[in-house]
Structure 1
């Protein structure tokens, strides 16, 4: 499983904070510690589950005994998906040092086993205070065939076969749902750590004394309690869509849906043109058994064609007006029918909630009609469109639906901006209702992901199509990629030099800080508990150490490594000399990959510049641009755009993500470079970026200036522009004018320009 650097960074921050705390924890009593608390704050689509999985794997590598992790979620579907992903699915290799089981399948032998970590997955519904008092939950009952104590008591004691108390970590995948009662119960188990994941930190009252002690005695501030993932890193990674299009319709339902389907057809065509392995999907959110706008319950004792429930009206409009195959439509809500008046054949109703979920997923439907009871576990990145019927008094919160459409398929921003956009079509009774929705969404985006662009329009028939500007001519761009075949040999040489530590009992031992563990000492009847200092930590595979170190900086480099070599099966302590040797080799692999790879371009599969989205309220018109207008240009970009337009060359303003991207050969940081402008010359294509300071100062710029060409086609020439005057040593000497950067004798070379027009003229020269 490939992790992004920001995901490893967040997981490492959590693990390091825990390791530091575990060496000197606060104590409630002599044998019970004040639990470590951490909230992972990250937007929807950032891979919170993956980050949490990597965090507990890293925590295990710091610990001297095998931990037990209780992994909780609110919904059954989320829990089942988590169990599948951790036990045998896409996250299983991250937690290879753990045995993963449903909580209720845990037995005494699992608790006692000293050979691996243990992850127990459950819903919070497996226990609550009332059921505990009434004896209604199995977790509190004696498991007579397994032990003389309940599972609850076994978790509280959690002794391995050597009498050592195992570290106990509670992970809550949706921290905002953690109630006060649930927290009180979890604290009864005396956990060593509580780790929650939520976009906003909301601490239950039951944790107030824990938080107060950590603030007072450890001098913790908010930073110590929260590991925050920058939304800009998530957007740059391609995990979420880059743009949100939000339309408000004070019109009949049919007009809004017609507009959405028109946009959906264009996006489907784009996906098919690019050969993508998915079809864009749409969701339709409404009240279930109510008559829209009237507040009356729909009459079920009537033929299907006379029903007024909104899901039925939506379904009929899709099937009857748009001829959509009913087999592609799912109705996932508790829609009621009288047995005497059933729905027509092919009406796919999933009214059973959790019990219907697997059958619903197996259908791979393209149009899904639902209300907010659709489980939190349903997050399909192919979902691009949402129609939301927002009646007066409706409880449907649009902000709760945004996350459903925000994930990006394949974690890639595509050349067609439509495929990087989440589309929302909201029908309301009054304009003021849409304004309230807009305020909610703007506040959410501003707080959680300001890097996502938001375009708003008030819709009528034909409005959505006017939000795109088609190109006036056909223009193509080269495909730009990385050629790494020259890096294969040096990387093989580095890997061959890695020692085989399978039979090494000296260098595989760590020299880390000591952590105390509670151990039962003595013979039966005379046992007592003592704190014992342990210096060593749980072992991990050399493969785990090696791949994670590469993924911290440049994950693609691992694709050239034969990580199936048996030497990578060796078990080492994370802070051992062996682990450091392996990490150093991984860093050398990344350096070799960057040094011996190059950026290349070709026209074998050229990119045809498509229609581009615009915000009608922020457009600027141009005479010679490929599109008649662009929007959201900042001051400097507008200056450059006007200066380029004066040259009467064909040009266009590139998008900030997707469309024309150039991969960067630099460790860490942004993986792609999107030049601001592209200009077609007679025999060359000039890509200009007006904010090139970070590329000039870093190493990435050196490989950008000479892009190898394979096959026929125009040369691609990069020009970076920086404000002020710079010298050959890449030092800024004053703030006057601009500096245009090109390549001279293999090195970046600065040319000073007094004005924007001069800078553009220099950019368009064949040789800078």
Structure 2
């Protein structure tokens, strides 16, 4: 029996944002017609960017469920991904879809196909591989008796003269949407085929945006005054930090490099696996750690003089080191294996007792086992690309919860790389992880998953002994907000039912009976807008979630019930416009009145400096810092000059405050950029108080002034910017001056302009 799941806040927010973008797109196209590239109507393009394990399938399932009406072609290159998706849509994610949703896997029956094409209402999700519809793959499979489905050839039991693909293009009665999972595998030619079906929209799940004609579409939409903002909203990025904090991912990747023979790595792999098994058993955890052994070739290489294949050699090594045969599974195309070796031909055949899995590139996508802790790479690696292809298989966290022992929250990679190339391998992996990183305030990025290596055994730099325990700051959390008037308004709104005309999309009554197959695109989109209905209470709650998750948490779920909230409204209706305005008022009031209160959880009341963990070996010494040295990599050029000036004052004690991890963070009542927490660049204890100093660039000053000038007693927040800032906080003149801003009763003070940084710092601390 499958159990249902509840979306995490970040998943619900991502789904709500995508659904809102689709509805706004459809409504604008209903009123003005869709944009075009030549004669081609430009479809909606939603791009979901999220790390492996973030829950892309439940996010996309929620968005698809919001459509209520249409055919969704859900496709992926990997048959394993398709199988898993179909199982989940029929199982643990079924409750995210409308009750009467039909889910089909690959080839439908004749009756299922007829209903798919002819039904005018309801939601059908057809989960299929790219190979079933891609013309190149279809042409190759056409002459084979085992070809499961050639979409581009007429099928006698599927409508006779017209191919299934042509029927989708010309006779489908419902709007078509495309979900392309793992869409970084797509090619422009494949996307052109899908565009030829004239879908209403695409939902792409990948780390990189689609190319080809989609780039041309984007150029047109960016110049469209009505749709440009919608297209921006349709690009949804799930922050990896949110996924790690939800404990869905392991928080550390350890890269162990040995410039030696393969047997040395294998011995280390077996030893680590035994340690992990012992730790899980000692803590009585329901965790069964697994190790993957990734080979480049399934059979012997004559060029390398191999007599025994690498899968067989690894199997023999494991057996010789005490691993039972039944714990080893060989998932390769190796022709010759020992008689007692267990061979599996599909991912579905893997069993819990298979703790050691010898595999190849087939595991690049589609295998979802959080108990995969170790990845051993058999061949010498000269590029991070080969490693990154399977790294996602070991990122998920068992049980969606971190354990007390950090080794059980860590994925370990064993690689063989020449010493001269190891640094480039590590940098490549960091870039790969940074695709899913948290944006920092300086326009860069910081991976939420830590990467540690044996090649960088840098010791942490301890706090100076004389300062241990003497420098502390209060921890804060967001508390209550003054929402009485807004909650009363929600209550009144819930009791006043809407007239039918206010629940309908503009023009819906006149287009209800017009076929979607007509040539009038405006009419077509009007019908789509009329079919996109959602309960008013759910719509209001989701709008508040998009604006502020914390605000939504403060409101009791029963608040969104009542006669008016049980009515269903169309996208673009007067009802939804009024509810959207109400949600905006609630969020604005929350942001204006939310309290920042001390954290009273036992053990979390205060923060104090911890050891500095250097990322590079080039160190810089400072006389008045909390730590005697810092890695030069801890600063950009401007921050380094700031640190030298601060240190040269010989007043008080300062420290470079790291972002996340061991750093000091203050929760924000509203997101600034992509961050919900403010990590000041520097902390400076002087004259009996602490100042949170944040030298900033003009390009992000407006956001910081809006969200980060918090009026708290300790630390006192100060923003600094090079140049002269006018009282309007907008006009900026480049100069050698330094302008500072401080909070005054929740608002920024008038800009204070000083001739140089030294003078500004002295004034901040009251030293002049």
TM-score normalised by structure 1 residue count = 0.70
Task: Describe the superposition over 1:250-277 as per-residue Cα deviations: whole angstroms up to 9, x where unpaired.
Answer: 2345777899999999999xx9xxxx99
Aligned residue in 1 for 2:80: 77
Q: 539-548 vs 231-240, which deviates more? A: 231-240
Residue 543 (structure 2) aligns with: 549
Q: Indicate the SS of the match to 1:377.
A: coil
Q: Show the counterpart of 2:681.
A: 676
Change (3 A) 1:309 1:764: farther
After TM superposition, give the deviation of residue 299 of structure 1 in Å. Answer: 3.8
Q: Deviations over 1:490-531 (max 9, x none)?
A: 55323212245767422111216999899679xxxxxx9886
Equivalent residue for 2:47?
A: 40
What's the counterpart of residue 400 of structure 1? 389
For 1:336 and 1:757, locate their aligned partners in 2 and report how far apart those are by CA, in whole Å.
69
Partner in structure 1 of residue 718 of structure 2: 719
The structure-2 alpha-carbon separation of the partners of 1:432 and 1:653, relative to structure 1 and needing over 3 Å to count, comes to closer
Matched, 1:506 2:501: yes
Identify which of 167, 170, 176 aligns with 1:168.
176
Preserved CA contact (<8 Å) 2:363 2:390: no
Superposition deviation, residue 654 in structure 1: 2.1
The correspondence of residues 438-477 of structure 1 with structure 2, limited to 5 A, is: 451-452=445-446, 463-466=455-458, 468-471=460-463, 474-475=468-469
Is contact 1:738-1:753 (8 Å) kept? yes
Show the counterpart of 2:577. Answer: 580
Q: Aligned to 1:397, what secondary structure does the other structure show?
A: helix
Q: Could you tell me how far 1:120 is from its partner in structure 2?
A: 1.8
Mapped contact 2:250–2:396 kept (Cα < 8 A): yes
C-alpha distance in structure 1 between counterparts of 2:23 and 2:494, whole Å: 27
What secondary structure sits across from 1:40 in the alignment? strand
Q: Cα deviations across residues 440-491 of structure 1 (Å, max 9, x unaligned)?
A: 65776788876246999997xx644326445555558667443433446455
Q: What is aligned with 2:566?
A: 569
Q: Which residue of 1 aligns with 2:332?
A: 334
Contact 2:738 2:753 (C-alpha < 8 Å) held by counterparts:
yes
Measured in 1, the distance between the counterparts of 2:724 and 2:410 equals: 38
Determine the C-alpha separation between the residues in 2 that align with 1:519 and 1:3: 39
Deviation at 1:706, TM superposition (A): 1.2
Change (3 A) 1:258 1:313: closer
Whole-angstrom distance in 2 between the partners of 1:418 and 1:648: 42
**Map of 2:3 onto structure 1:** none
Q: Structure 1 residues 493, 215: CA separation in 2 closer, same or farther (over 3 Å shift)?
A: closer
Give the distance between the partners of 1:110 and 1:195, measured in 2 at CA.
Answer: 20
Deviation at 1:665, TM superposition (A): 0.9
C-alpha change, 1:75 and 1:215, in structure 2 (3 Å) is: same
Query: 483-492 vs 552-561, which deviates more?
Result: 483-492
Select the residue among 625, 637, 640 that pairs with 2:639.
637
Q: Distance in 1 between matches of 2:70 and 2:263?
A: 56
Unpaired stretches in structure 2, ≥5 consecutive residues? 1-6, 438-443
Match runs of 1:411-430 below 5 Å: 426-428=415-417, 430=418
| Counterpart residue number, 1:124 | 130
Q: Call closer, same or farther: CA 1:7–1:680 in 2, change over 3 Å.
A: farther
Equivalent residue for 2:592, pick from 566, 590, 595: 595
Aligned ranges for residues 12-411 of structure 1 at < 5 Å?
24=33, 36=43, 38=45, 40=47, 42=49, 44-45=51-52, 49=57, 52-53=60-61, 56=64, 60=67, 66-86=69-89, 89=92, 93=96, 99-104=102-107, 106=112, 108-109=114-115, 111-126=117-132, 128-129=138-139, 136-137=147-148, 155=168, 165-178=173-186, 191=199, 193=201, 196-200=204-208, 234=239, 249-252=258-261, 285-287=294-296, 295=304, 297=306, 299=308, 309-310=313-314, 313=317, 333-334=331-332, 342=340, 351-356=344-349, 359=351, 370-378=359-367, 387-391=376-380, 397-404=386-393
Q: Secondary structure at the match of 2:669?
A: coil
Shift of 1:577: 1.0
CA pair 566-17 structure 1, distance change in 2 beyond 3 A: closer
Q: Retained in 2: the 8 A contact 1:282–1:368? A: yes
Question: In structure 1, what is the Cα distance between the partners aligned to 2:354 and 2:592?
Answer: 44
Shift, 1:554, TM fit: 1.2
Map of 1:625 onto structure 2: 626
Match of 1:162 in 2: none
**Greater CA deviation, 634-643 or 430-439?**
430-439
Is residue 170–residue 193 contact of structure 1 (8 Å, CA) maintained in 2? yes
Q: Corresponding residue for 2:614?
A: 614
- Correspondence for 1:663: 667
Any conservation in 1 of the 2:293–2:357 contact (CA below 8 Å)? yes
Structure 1 match to 2:696: 691
2:253–2:449: 8 Å Cα contact kept in structure 1?
yes
Give the Cα–Cα distance (whole angstroms) in 2 for the partners of residues 582 and 455 of structure 1: 38
Q: Where does structure 1 lack aligned partners over 5 or more consecutive residues?
A: 160-164, 301-305, 344-348, 522-527, 708-714
Contact 1:39–1:227 (8 Å) recurs in 2: no
**Contact 2:498–2:575 (Cα < 8 Å) also in 1:** no
Contact 1:413 1:657 in 2 (8 A): no
Provide the C-alpha distance between the structure 2 equivalents of 1:364 and 1:718, rounded to a whole number of angstroms: 55
Structure 2 CA distance for partners of 1:636 and 1:601, relative to 1, 3 Å? farther
Q: Name the CA shift for 1:308/1:3 in 2 (closer, same or farther; >3 Å).
A: closer
Cα separation, partners in 2 of 1:548 and 1:216, compared to 1, 3 Å = closer
Per the TM alignment, residue 356 of structure 1 is displaced from its structure 2 partner at its CA by: 2.4
Question: Structure 1 residue aligned with 2:656, among 631, 653, 656?
Answer: 653
Give the drift of 1:648. 7.2
Question: In angstroms, what is the RMSD of aligned CA positions?
Answer: 6.1
Change (3 A) 1:147 1:229: closer
Q: Which moved more, 1:134-143 or 1:107-116?
A: 134-143
Q: Please state how far the C-alpha of 1:201 moved relative to its aligned partner.
A: 5.7
Indicate if the aligned counterparts of 1:242 and 1:452 stay in contact, CA closer than 8 A: no
Name the counterpart of 1:710.
none
Give 1:559 deviation, angstroms. Answer: 1.7
Q: In the alignment, is the contact (CA less than 8 A) between 2:70 and 2:121 conserved in 1?
A: no
Structure-1 separation of matches of 2:728 and 2:141: 72
Shift of 1:67: 1.7
Is the Cα contact below 8 Å between 1:498 and 1:581 reproduced in 2? Answer: no
SS at the partner of 1:71? strand
Indicate conservation of the 8 Å contact 1:553/1:667, yes or no.
Answer: no
Give the Cα separation in 1 of the matches to 2:490 and 2:221. Answer: 47
* Residue in 1 that maps onto 2:489: 494
Deviation sequence 1:327-377 (CA, Å, 0-9, x none): 9x876733869886636xxxxx673333225x45xx797x87643321512
- Any idea what SS the aligned residue of 1:605 has? coil
Q: In the TM superposition, what whole-angstrom CA distance separates every residue of 1:60-103 from its partner, at most 9, and x where no partner exists? A: 48xxxx32111111223322343355455459537789554435
Q: Report the alpha carbon displacement of residue 731 of structure 1 after superposing the two structures with TM.
A: 6.3
Structure 1 contact 724–737 (Cα < 8 Å) conserved: yes
